Amino acid sequence: MGQAREVMDRLTTAMTAKDKETLAKCYSADAVAFTPDEGELTGRDAITKYFFKFWEAIPDVRYEYTDKHEAGEVAIDEGFVAGTNTGPLSLPTGESLPASGKELRVRSCDVARVEGGEITSHHFYFDQLEFLGQLGLLPESLSKH
């Protein structure tokens, strides 16, 4: 196992354990993340804050791997983000949605570049329609894709 895989595994463990300090240390101070819902996030603090909003909305969040990859400085995780929406979900607009109480299991893929033992670039991909549909926020015709 290389450094990229080790850091990505540490990040996933910290996310599941809600270990804010370890999670933050996985990123370089000037790391950049690209997210489907909030766009580009710059800096360790902005990226860790992104995780915190999901911890609030889905306190029992976990990652279910379907595959792990590593190529040089890049680690890739494929799987599902799963948990129960029992807290308010913060929206990029600053508003929030009340807890739905619904179980979620959303397809996800993460691609992270690691340099010097820290993530410098992290691309988050998840199925937004699946996420919104499972929360009950889509018309029935769209939530059956």
Express each pLDDT in 2-17 by its tens digit.
999 999 999 999 999 9
In angstroms, the Cα distances linking 142 to 37, 96, 99, 106, 132 are 18, 22, 21, 15, 10
**Would you give the DSSP letter of residue 143?**
T
**Which pLDDT value is given to residue 143?**
56
Tens digits of residue pLDDT in 50-74: 999 989 999 999 999 999 999 999 9
Q: How confident is the model at residue 137 (pLDDT cuts 50, 70, 90)?
A: confident
Cα–Cα distance for residue pair 2/24, rounded to 1 Å = 20
Q: Is 98:88 a contact under the CB 8 Å cutoff? A: yes
Predicted confidence at residue 57, as pLDDT, reads 95
pLDDT in tens, 69-106: 999 999 999 999 999 999 999 887 889 999 999 999 99
Mean pLDDT of 119-144: 87
Instruction: Please say whether the beta carbons of 130 and 140 come within 8 A.
Output: no
pTM attached to this predicted model: 0.91
**pLDDT value, residue 94:** 85
| pLDDT category of residue 145 using cuts at 50, 70 and 90 | low
Residue 114 has pLDDT above 80, yes or no: yes
User: What average pLDDT score do residues 27-51 get?
Assistant: 96
